[in-house]
Amino acid sequence: MRKSIILALLLVGMTAMGQSVKLNSNGKGDAVTQVKIMNANQATKSGDKQEMRLLAKVSKQFDAQRLKAQGIVVGSQAGDIVTLRLTPDKVALLDANADILQYSVAFAVAPTMNSTRYDTQTDSVQAGAGLPQAYTGEGVLIGITDWGFDYTHPNYNNNGASNRRLLRAWDQFRIQGPAPEGFDYGHLYDTRHDLLQAKCDTFGLYGYATHGTHVAGIAAGRGIDGNYTGQAPYANLLFASFYLNGAAWIDAVSWMKDVAKEEGKRLVINNSWGMYTLGPIDGTSLVSQAINNLTDSGIVFVTSGGNCGDDNFHISKTFTTGQHDTLRSQAEYYGAHEIGQGIIMWGEPGKSFEASFAMLNGDDSVCFRWVNTADGDFYLDSALTTATGDTMPFNITVERANVFNNRPHILINIAKCSYKIQVASTAEEGRVHVWNMTNLENGAGNMGSRFTQGRSLNYTLGDDDYGIGEPACAEGCIAVAAHRADRKKPDGTREAGMIASFSSHGPIIDGRQKPDISAPGMSVVSSLNSFTTEVYTYVMTYDYATRPYHWARMSGTSMSGPAVTGIVALMLEANPNLSPRHVRDILCQTARNDEWTGPLHERDSMSNIWGWGKADALAAVNEALAHVDINQADEKWFAKSLQLFPNPANEQVTVLTGSHSPESVTLYSIDGRRLLTQEVVMEGKIDLRQLPHGVYIVKCGARTARLVH
């Protein structure tokens, strides 16, 4: 039985990213300005002195000579606005000067990653605005499962140890090992020397691509000379170029989990890719189940929601007993590089349906017989022959009841041809969903393609609903939509950004709402693989170690996903004890609503397009900090909290000690009675099934955490 796993990079285009600065207590500088200053200070620490250009609003008593005497160049003055040029270390002088009322960076007239960071308020988090300290993702691991990695890129791996934030990379495509411990394929690069010698991941089904390098830069790029800083610029990175199947991806995730345990760090994994034929797209597949299981160990998964929002690639119909009706439509091809069409059909549990397809070319037509899911599971690999002698290969898979969700299922793959494809389905009762996917020639991708009426008014037009695929449909994944970044207008007001037309819409066919949240995903600027064979229009080029490195724009939920991944890293730095469920809940509860999203929180209603709204890093980090004592724990219990997952817990809780040596972990009742003690090396599990529900204390040496059961 031949099954194809079809993979689609969630990629359409780019957003620009700016630099964040540390806010001063007097709040004179706007958030984006403070981000710029922060990045400039980082560059200065690396020995790269630079000047900044600022605009300042001044009082009537402003004395330009005073600033000049302090080494600040004062340029022109237009009323109470003056231009300044200074090095980052002198910004504090502006804060101390009572005659400087406000200041901001003199931005160039061009879009940059500042848009993403301004939109999500990550710039304020990196600057520490209204927070006990600045947060940059330090101490958190970001795992990127993707392709097209440049291991040498200065955005995350330059200047020796000071920016060696790419810790390890697993290239599953490279035949010669050594593989990671416990695996027997691919090559593990675990030293800086090995990474630099390898240069980039292996030529694979996407060639020498660049997608992973772009994604990594959005999530955690340090930026260059104050430009294009990522969301969590001090987080560490793990890269996995994985084979195009769910098992290899789970291997990659497991490896990342092991590294995180070894490093004693929290882990968030970004998946900027999607599948529609990996399994049921309702969160019941094995991949989805694996994700849900892995979240129990504390891994946070962030996944791009998909790029089928403007494809109208879905049709559906609810059949009623005695109606004797049929759902019909014409399935179009996507365009170049296709090898054929994939028609995906899912019905309701316990309610069978029938399907057929036909190929038409003028007056010439050829039809395949009707198949009924009630007749049992089967697979057919065959071909249709036209009146003119042309053969058209196809295969069809039929399931009476899929093992994961009990839904009847039909998958039809039809080879590329000059004929029009017409699809039909009928049922006695229940709803049938149909998706039209164009399969790509490399065998590793698919794109949503529209359903049209063709020449028949009785045919159903496609819609853009139910567009969330794997793994975004998993309950344990934070599924991210894409919108145009909010823009700060010259008068200081915010111009809200609309949803990206390509951003996939929910819900899931089991009734759950997806996506969960939205982030900027249009025209995002980030780093490119310097070894790529793909062609881009560069926004910036930086020469490092005699090699040019480039930045360019891309768009897609591939770009909005890592924007949220970086925010999660900031949250986990602020509060390492957050469970994955808490992370998602906080992101959703603190999401911004505006004229485009509508008052979602006010109505207590998710949107199939926006989720709960636009990600707000500043609000999320503030809420994450509040969750340190969500159960009103006494501060004396928290010298350095243990990591417990899940928390609250039902049947068992996982305890992460961060130590390779055996340590005693003790569970106490809330009144101080010792209930059990066990030795743990790095990770252990406590069985809670015999304990009454309530609040408990877990202690390991001087470290203590509160557990809710």
Give the pLDDT band of residue 266 (cuts 50, 70, 90).
very high
* Three-state DSSP state, 89: helix
Q: How far apart are CA 35 and CA 42, in angstroms?
A: 11
Q: Rounded to whole angstroms, how far apart are CA atoms 112 and 523?
A: 9
Residue 151: strand, helix, or coil: coil
Name residue 166's beta-bridge partners.
Answer: 237
**Gap between the Cα atoms of 215 and 519, Å rounded:** 14
Parallel, antiparallel, or unpaired: how do β-strands 420-426 and 327-331 relate?
Answer: antiparallel
Q: Among 13-22, 93-102, 420-429, 654-663, name the most confident range.
A: 420-429
Angle between helices 617-626 and 580-589 (to 10 degrees): 130
Distance, in Å, from the CA atom of 566 to the CA atom of 142, rounded to the nearest integer, reads: 8
CB atoms within 10 A of CB 80: 13
pLDDT band at residue 669 using 50, 70 and 90 as cut-offs: confident
pTM of the model: 0.74
- The answer to whether residues 526 and 114 touch, using CB atoms and an 8 Å cutoff, is no
Quote the pLDDT of residue 709. Answer: 86
Give the CA distances from residue 324 to residues 264, 327, 348, 425, 428, in Å, rounded to whole numbers and listed in that order: 61, 10, 17, 11, 7
Taking alpha carbons only, the member of 628, 522, 590 closest to residue 115 is 522
What residues contact 409, with CB distance under 8 A and at least 6 apart?
280, 345, 346, 347, 373, 397, 398, 399, 402
pLDDT at 178: 94
Determine what percent of the chain falls in helix, strand and coil, rounding each to the nearest 5.
Answer: 20, 35, 45
Helix (H) or strand (E) holding 84: strand 81-86
Among 465, 522, 516, residue whose Cα is nearest residue 499 = 522
Choose from 158-167, 583-592, 656-665 the range with maximum mean pLDDT. 583-592
Range of weakest confidence among 9-18, 389-398, 454-463, 481-490: 9-18
Distance of CA 45 to the CA centre of its chain: 31
From CA 616, how far away is CA 618, in angstroms rounded? 6
Poorest-confidence range of 61-75, 204-218, 328-342, 399-413? 328-342
Q: Cis omega (within 30 of 0) on the bond before 692?
A: no
Predicted local confidence at residue 441, as pLDDT: 61
pLDDT value, residue 609: 96
Under 8 Å between Cβ of 282 and 292: no
Distance CA 326, CA 374 (A): 17
**All domains in the chain, ordered by first residue:** 31-111 (3.30.70.250), 140-307+474-581 (3.40.50.200), 314-452 (2.60.120.1290), 632-709 (2.60.40.10)
- Give 57 or 518, the one with higher predicted confidence: 518
Name the residue with higher pLDDT: 501 or 457. 501
Beta carbons within 10 angstroms of residue 278's beta carbon: 23
Q: Residue 544 has which token pair?
A: 């490092």
- Each residue of 483-493: b (16+ CB within 10 Å) or e? bbbbebeeeee
Phi-psi region of 530 (alpha: psi -120 to 50; beta: other; left: phi over 0): alpha
In the predicted structure, residue 555 carries a pLDDT above the cut 60: yes
pLDDT of residue 620: 94
User: Is it the case that residue 680 has pLDDT exceeding 60?
Assistant: yes
Q: What percent of the chain has pLDDT over 70?
A: 83
Residue pLDDT, tens place only, 49-63: 666 767 677 888 889
Distances (CA, A) of 683 to 59, 464, 633: 59, 44, 24
Which position has the higher pLDDT, 173 or 85?
Answer: 173
Residues in the chain: 709
Pairing of strands 354-361, 420-426: antiparallel
The residues facing 448 across adjacent strands are 437
Confidence at residue 159, expressed as pLDDT on a 0 to 100 scale: 57
pLDDT band at 635 (very low <50, low <70, confident <90, very high): very low
**What confidence tier does 316 reach under pLDDT thresholds 50, 70, 90?**
very high
Write b or e for each residue in 211-221: b if 16 or more Cβ atoms lie within 10 A of its Cβ, otherwise e.
bbbbbbbbbbb
Q: Which residue has the tokens 């015999």?
A: 690
Over residues 343-367, the pLDDT tens digits come to: 999 999 999 999 999 888 777 778 8
Mean pLDDT over 162-180 rounds to 87
Residues 6+ apart with CB under 8 A from 406: 349, 350
Alpha carbon 381 to its chain centroid, in Å, reads 36
Q: Mean pLDDT across the stretch 24-28?
A: 53
pLDDT at 563: 97
3-state secondary structure of 339: strand
Cβ partners under 8 Å of residue 215, min gap 6: 144, 146, 270, 272, 526, 558, 559, 561, 562
The CA radius of gyration of the chain, in Å to the nearest whole number, is 27
Predicted confidence at residue 456, as pLDDT, reads 78
Token couple for 493 = 């007001």
Render 28-62 in DSSP notation, one character per residue. Answer: -B-HHHHHHHHHHHHHHHTT----EEEEEEE-TT-
- Backbone φ and ψ for 556, nearest 5 degrees, come out as 145, 165
Closest by CA position to 125, among listed 188, 34, 186: 34
Q: To 10 degrees, the CA torsion angle through 169, 170, 174, 176?
A: 100
Mean residue pLDDT across the chain: 82
Look-up: residue for tokens 């924007």?
563
Q: Is 684 helix (H, G, I), strand (E, B) or coil?
A: strand
Residue 128 has pLDDT above 80, yes or no: yes
Place of tokens 């390779």: 660
What whole-number distance in Å separates Cα of residue 275 and Cα of residue 281? 9
Is there a contact between 273 and 310 (Cβ–Cβ < 8 Å)? no
Evaluate the CA torsion angle 436, 336, 395, 474 in order and state its sign. Answer: negative
| Residue 224: count of CB within 10 angstroms of its CB | 22
Instruction: List residues bridging with 591 in a β-sheet.
Output: none
pLDDT band at 112; cut points 50, 70, 90: very low
Stronger pLDDT, 229 or 8, i.e. the higher one: 229
Cα separation, 222 vs 168, in Å, equals 17
Q: DSSP per residue over 507-535, as a string?
A: --TTS-----EEEE-SSEEEE--TT--S-
Q: Which amino acid is residue 2, in one-letter code?
A: R
* Distance of alpha carbon 581 from alpha carbon 579, whole angstroms: 5
C-alpha 529/C-alpha 203 separation (Å) is 12
**b/e map of 57-72 (b: 16 or more CB within 10 Å)?**
bbeeebeeeebeeeeb
Query: What is the pLDDT confidence band of residue 234, given thresholds at 50, 70 and 90?
Result: very high
The whole-number pLDDT of residue 336 equals: 54
Identify whether the C-beta of residue 561 lies closer than 8 Å to the C-beta of residue 270.
yes
Are 383 and 394 contacting, i.e. CB atoms less than 8 angstroms apart? yes
Instruction: Kindly state the DSSP code that residue 462 receives in the 8-state scheme.
Output: P
CB 57 within 8 A of CB 101: yes
Distance CA 46, CA 518 (A): 34
